[in-house]
Structure 1
Amino acid sequence: MARQLSPVGLEFVTTAPVRLVFAHEIAAPPAAVFGALAEDVAGWPRWFKAVRMARPTEDGKGREIRLVGGTRFAETILAADPNERYAYRVDRTNAPGVRHLVEEWQLTPAGTGTRVRWTFAADGSAVFRFALKAARPGIGRSFRDAVVALDRRLTAAKSS
């Protein structure tokens, strides 16, 4: 890993200078979605195409993530509230310009399914903030494609 980031807490999700928030409803229930997010970390590449490798670290208190394209993250889990929320902070990365990065997945029951809300909260250099805002449409598509793929995976597993 190239750089150590400044630590921030879960409150950064609401105070970050750049907050990208996306939501999508899926058929899978919150318990199944939470299980895929928090308990099957190694399974992320099966449904989130941007993730090349994911593995839990520090007895489940952290994660190591590698994205397609070579970006790497060492993360600390900030919240793992069963069936409600999963959040983590990036502690080290090789991505340029980033100073703080926290992601939060909120799960809300929606009928028999789940409303999945993902907040990508970040700060960094002016160039990083500009690039992140410009990338919003692509990040949104990546999120939507990922939760749709996750839903297919979870509903297929349920019907098996």
Structure 2
Amino acid sequence: MERHLAPVGLEFVESAPVRFVFAQEISSSPEAVFHALADDVPGWADWFGQVKAARALEGGERREIRLVGGTRFQETILAAKPCEVYAYRVDTTNAPALRALVEEWRLIPVGGGTRVRWTFAADGAPGVRLALRGARPGMGWAFRGAVRALERRLSS
């Protein structure tokens, strides 16, 4: 069953009741990382292990994401500033009890590479908040693995 989430804005990444920030440095340029995030949406399934399928909608203003395990998201892009930030809000999902979800990818040039910083911001029923907090270590592990896989993909 599709559920509609709150139409929160980019400010939600600072005010969400559940907020995780993970960062990883890679040798790939901010330009290459931004292209992989924003322009090569189907490519997410090749480097982010939890993503089964991804496709851009409406000329890149929206996305459809399918995760391993069956969770689906319809998203709206909130920010796409080349080499700096890519962020999106989940509008509809089949995941139960979520109220709002925004993810932000910040790209910070470091040396000859990029510091990739991912913020996961969510709200939901009390049980969902608790479950998400418990999932934090696994989400960090998934992020680090995805960024390493992205770096391998970009360097090949």
Q: Same fold (TM over 0.5)?
A: yes
Aligned to 1:118: 118
Aligned to 2:23: 23
Question: How far off its partner does 1:97 sit?
Answer: 1.1
- SS of 1:135's equivalent in the other structure is helix
1:1-160 equivalences under 5 Å are 2-156=2-156
RMSD of Structure 2 on Structure 1 (CA): 0.6
Question: How far off its partner does 1:6 sit?
Answer: 1.2
Structure 1: distance between partners of 2:65 and 2:43: 12
Structure 1: distance between partners of 2:142 and 2:42: 18
The one-letter amino acid paired with 1:37 is L
Q: Output one character per residue of 1:81-132: Cα deviation in whole Å (capped at 9) or x when no partner.
A: 0000000000000001100000000000010000000000000000100000
- SS of 2:116's equivalent in the other structure is strand
TM-score, structure 2 as length reference: 0.99
TM-score, structure 1 as length reference: 0.96
Q: 4+ residue stretches of structure 1 with deviation over 4 A? A: none
Identity %: 67
Structure 2: distance between partners of 1:6 and 1:85: 22
Segments of 5+ residues of structure 1 without an aligned counterpart are none
Segments of 5+ residues of structure 2 without an aligned counterpart are none
Structure 1: distance between partners of 2:59 and 2:150: 24
- SS of 1:10's equivalent in the other structure is coil
The one-letter amino acid paired with 2:126 is A
- SS of 2:70's equivalent in the other structure is coil
The one-letter amino acid paired with 2:41 is V
- SS of 1:116's equivalent in the other structure is strand
Question: How far off its partner does 1:67 sit?
Answer: 0.2
